[in-house]
Structure 1
Amino acid sequence: MTEDDKTPAREVIADYAQAHFRYFRTADGTVYAQHNGHPVARPIRSQGTTGSHRQELMVGLFRDGMGVFNGTALKEALDLIEALALTEDVQPVHIRVAPGFDGATWLDLGRNDGLSVRIHATGWDVLTPDPVEVCWRRTQLTGELPLPEKDTDGKGIDLLLRLCNFANAETECLAIAWLIGCLGPSVPVPAPFLTGPQGAGKSTGGRMLVRIIEGMSGDLRRAPKDEENLTAAVAAGWVTALDNLSHLTPDLSDAMCCIVTGAENVKRALYTDGDVVRARYRRPMLLTGIDVGVIRPDLAERLLPLRLERPKVRRTEAELWAEYEEILPVVLGSLLDLTVKVRAADAEIPTDLRMADFAHLCAQLDQATGLGALSAYRRSLDDLNDDVIEGDLLAQTVLQHAGGMEAGSEQRMTSAEWLHCLTRLYVGEDCRPLPKGWPTTGKVLSDRLKRLQPTLAARGVFIDWGRTKVTRYIEMSRPPAPPGTEQEQVF
């Protein structure tokens, strides 16, 4: 055979690739490859340590006796494949949890054989998903989960709670509700904040909760120094767990709010002037720490405080984690059983809470088990409101002023007049100095009150904004108490 009769290497590679792999693109234009019949997808351009499609293709060609090809031939073939894939239909890729057909939910077990858990209306099964239904994306943070056990009769939940040092039954039911929420791809869940005295096992308890979803390789990490690194870590895994927080900067607090309820990050693509990269994310979070100081009101509505207490009997790390690893299949099986029951329960959706999806999940959990998760969630939010007020002198001053108003009354003033009124009230007769961060203008005061509006409303003080023909005003009101109830003291 002459040189002219030989098939070019790039054509050999392209023909082999199209015969053994399925190629598609995501909404952001990234091209992925799936081995025929396997649900795990790999980006064709990635050079990460988790393995790229280029590496996968080289190994397949070598093992099937096609030979070893140089980089130029591989690049030319992949360029053609990428161009062809951009004409295909868009399909999303998922990390750990994904929606399926007919209302089902999938949980990636992180196994090489692609076995996953399909949670449906009547139960759950372990099987390999159809690549057309679910495409899994794997990263270094994707750990392997054990095969869950069937017919556990709920004993796995009891075994888990025995190892954790939760302070009371209310904390336990909220932790269970959060775990069930982590198995829902479209349900935003508040971030558990594990608190307690030194030695209460907050980090250990956090690891136990995370590893039910992320496997034994799941762990806590220090909070990144900037939002870009935090976003990268969030995008590479399902549960983001931050350990030993002692202070929350405003930027980190805002970033956490976005992670919990969902946001999109857009930045310039590398080595380009006009192209951008989009990163959409909404992930479960978990935090640990003794005290994070002042909590901003918008973050407080997205937190789930879980208090732990010091154990009476100490155990070695090796003994504790050996037992945990042994019971993990039972724990996962019990959690899946409970998830099926909760999703089948019929409960009304609470309409007065910010995280309405999680509140509805708590109501469904109560309907299925009678644990009282919804009332526990309401009390936890009330405690967080107290924390916000205790850390904000402006909120305390507003409540002090509202305490002198009659029930059912209202007051209207401009923002500058309100600033003068509240400042005089705070300074008092002893003329104490104003604290750092006190509003300096009416505009700053108005913006602060907008942030505090939900917190103040929970204490029966309502703030509203309006306009007359002459000027704008801020209205503060205290509605009358419902008949047959006592008016709550706001301060």
Structure 2
Amino acid sequence: MADDDKTPGRQVITDYAQAHFRYFRTADGTVFAQRNNHPVARPIRSQGTSGSHRQELMVGLFNDGYGVFSGTALKEALDLIEALAVTQDVQPVHIRVAPGFDGATWLDLGRTDGQSVRIHPTGWDVRTPDPREVCWRRTQLTGELPLPAADTNGKGIDLLLRLCNFANAQTECLAVAWLIGCLGPSVPVPAPFLTGPQGAGKSTGGRMLVRIIEGMSGDLRRAPKDEENLIAAVAAGWVTALDNLSHLAPDLSDLMCCIVTGAETIKRALYTDGDVVRARYRRPLLLTGIDVGVIRPDLAERLLPLRLERPAVRRTEAELWRDFEEALPAILGSLLDLTVKVRAAEADIPTDLRMADFAHLCAQLDAATGLGALNAYRTSLDDLNDDVIEGDLLAQTVLKYADDLTPGDPTRMTSTQWLHTLTGLYTSDDHRPLPKGWPTTGKVLSDRLKRLQPTLAARGVLIDWGRTSESRYIEMTRPPGPPPPQQESIL
């Protein structure tokens, strides 16, 4: 055959690719390739070790008898495919959990055959999703889950609770509620903070909770030293677990708040002058540690303290993880059964809690099982408020001042006047010096009070801001009526 009659390599590759793969783009413009009738999608520009589209295209061409093509032909073909895909419809890709059609949600089992769990209003089943309904994205953090066991009659949850060293029944039901929340793609869930004495199995318990969702390859990590690395780790998996925290710097605390409730980062694309890369993230977060020191109020509203206790009988690591791996299919099956039951339960949405979606899930869990998860969640938040107040001398001073307020009679002063008043009240005790971090200006005081506003409101002290024709003011009042009830701690 004359050279002029040969089909160029880039044309052969392009024809083969369009016959065997579906190409589409996401909202941020990334083009993905999805093998026909298979739910896993790969970005065509990826060179990752988890398997790139370029690699699967080369292997497919070779196995189907088309031979080996040069890198130039592959690049030219992929450039053309990418340009054609830009005009296609936009479709999202998901890691581990995804919304489906008709109110269903999907759980990726991480299997090479693409089989996944479909959780629908009347039950759950294992099937391969329609590629146009769900597109899974896999990374090195996507571990494989076993096929869940059916008809477990709840024994899997009992097996899990026997393996973990949770301190009491209230902590157990909050852990179960969090696991159910992790199976919801659109429900922000607070971050469990596993605490307890040394030797209570906090890291082991955290790994077990993570591996129910992420498979046996899921693990805990040290907190990265910078925001960019943490966001990269968050974006590559579903559950992010940080181990053995001893201090929460303000920047890390703020970033954790964003991870729990969702945020977006934008940075300049490599080798470009004006293009940008957008990264959206909202993921379940899990923390372990004995004590992290002072907790900022905004993070406290997004935490779920789970206390563990030292076991009476120690077991070897090999024995413990062998039992867990054997129990994992039953644990996953029982969790799916309970998730279906909880989602079908009707309950009022609590309107007084910040994480209202999770509070509603706790109320549904109570309606389905009678466990008392909502009261346990309220009590855990009350304990966290105590921790915030114990670690903040300004909050303690405000509460001391508010003790002398007449209920229903607001006190208004400028921020500078409040600073002078609260500073005088603090130093009046034995003329003690001001602590490090005490507000130095009225503006700093106002900003600190805005962070403390929910914590103080939970203790019956309302802070508000307003303006007269002459100046701005801060108003402090105690509402009329009895003070908020103090719930007995479960931790």
Query: TM tier, shorter chain?
Result: over 0.9
Q: Distance in 2 between matches of 1:253 and 1:281?
A: 16
- In the alignment, is residue 173 of structure 1 matched against residue 164 of structure 2? no
TM-superposed CA distance for 1:480, in Å, is 1.2
Query: Is the 8 Å Cα contact of residues 10 and 73 (structure 1) preserved in structure 2?
Result: yes
Counterpart in 1 of 2:262? Answer: 262
Within the alignment, does 1:228 sit opposite 2:233 as a pair? Answer: no
Aligned-pair distance for 1:334?
0.1
Equivalences for residues 271-290 of structure 1 within 5 A = 271-290=271-290
Structure 1 letter corresponding to 2:9: A
Aligned to 1:374: 374
- Quick one: distance in 1 between partners of 2:484 and 2:231? 47
Q: Distance in 2 between matches of 1:160 and 1:441?
A: 52
Distance in 2 separating the partners of 1:486 and 1:69: 73
Give the aligned CA root-mean-square deviation in angstroms: 1.1
Conserved? CA contact 1:481–1:487, under 8 Å: no
The separation in 2 between residues aligned to 1:290 and 1:409, in whole angstroms, is 42
What is the alpha-carbon distance in structure 1 between the residues aligned to residue 428 and residue 244 of structure 2?
Answer: 39
1:429 deviates by 4.8
Q: Distance in 2 between matches of 1:12 and 1:479?
A: 76
Give the equivalent residue in structure 2 for 1:85: 85
Alignment partner of 1:237 is 2:246: no
- Match of residue 465 from structure 1: 465
- The one-letter amino acid of 1:300's match is A
Aligned to 1:212: 212
1:409 positional shift: 2.0
1:410 deviates by: 1.5
Equivalent residue letter for 1:52: S
- Equivalent-residue separation in structure 1 for 2:52 and 2:484 (angstroms): 66
**CA displacement 1:258-313 (0-9 Å, x = unmatched):** 00000001000011110000000100000000000000000000000000000000
Find the residue that maps to 1:463 and give its secondary structure: strand
SS at the partner of 1:424? Answer: helix
- C-alpha distance in structure 2 between counterparts of 1:292 and 1:134, whole Å: 39
| Aligned counterparts of 2:86 and 2:273: Cα–Cα separation in 1 | 21
Provide the rounded CA distance (Å) in 2 between the counterparts of 1:12 and 1:349. Answer: 58
What is the aligned partner in structure 1 of residue 34 from structure 2? 34
CA contact (8 A) 1:147 1:329 kept: yes
CA-CA distance at 1:406 after TM superposition: 2.0
Alpha-carbon distance between aligned partners in 2 of 1:2 and 1:31, rounded to the nearest angstrom? 36
CA distance in 2 between counterparts of 1:487 and 1:220 reads 37
Give the secondary-structure state (helix, strand or coil) at the position aligned to 1:286.
strand
1:125 and 1:53, CA in 2 relative to 1: closer, same or farther beyond 3 A?
same
| Post-superposition offset of 1:408 | 2.1
Q: Give 2:143's aligned amino acid.
A: G
The residue number in structure 2 matching 1:110 is 110
Question: Aligned residue for 1:344?
Answer: 344
Is 2:142 the partner of 1:142?
A: yes
CA 1:348–1:57: 2 relative to 1, 3 Å: same
The answer to whether the 8 A contact 1:243-1:288 is kept is: yes
Give, as a single letter, the amino acid of the residue that structure 2 aligns with 1:386. D
1:486, distance to aligned residue in structure 2 (A): 8.8
Q: Deviations over 1:412-443 (max 9, x none)?
A: 00000000000000001522110000000000
- Aligned residue type for 1:329: P
TM-score (norm 2): 0.98
CA distance in 1, matches of 2:352, 2:373: 16
Q: Greater shift after overlay, 206-215 or 423-432?
A: 423-432
Q: Does the 8 Å contact 1:480/1:487 carry over to 2?
A: no
Report the counterpart of residue 413 of structure 1 in structure 2: 413
Q: Percent identity?
A: 86
Structure 2 matches for 1:472-491, cutoff 5 A?
472-482=472-482
Cα distance between partner residues in 2 of 1:87 and 1:405: 65
Aligned pair count reads: 487
Aligned partners of 2:460 and 2:484 also within 8 Å: no
- Alpha-carbon separation, structure 1, partners of 2:484 and 2:263: 42
Give the drift of 1:404: 1.4
**Runs of 4+ more than 3 Å apart:** 485-488
Alignment-mate amino acid for residue 357 of structure 1:
D
Q: Distance in 1 between matches of 2:45 and 2:123?
A: 38
Q: What SS is found at the alignment partner of 1:33?
A: strand
Structure 2 counterparts to residues 174-213 of structure 1, below 5 A: 174-213=174-213
Output the amino acid matched with 2:254: D
SS in structure 2 of the partner of residue 132 of structure 1 = coil
The CA distance in 1 between the partners of 2:120 and 2:59, in whole Å, is: 37
The 10-residue stretch of structure 1 (405-414 or 330-339) with the greater mean CA deviation from structure 2: 405-414
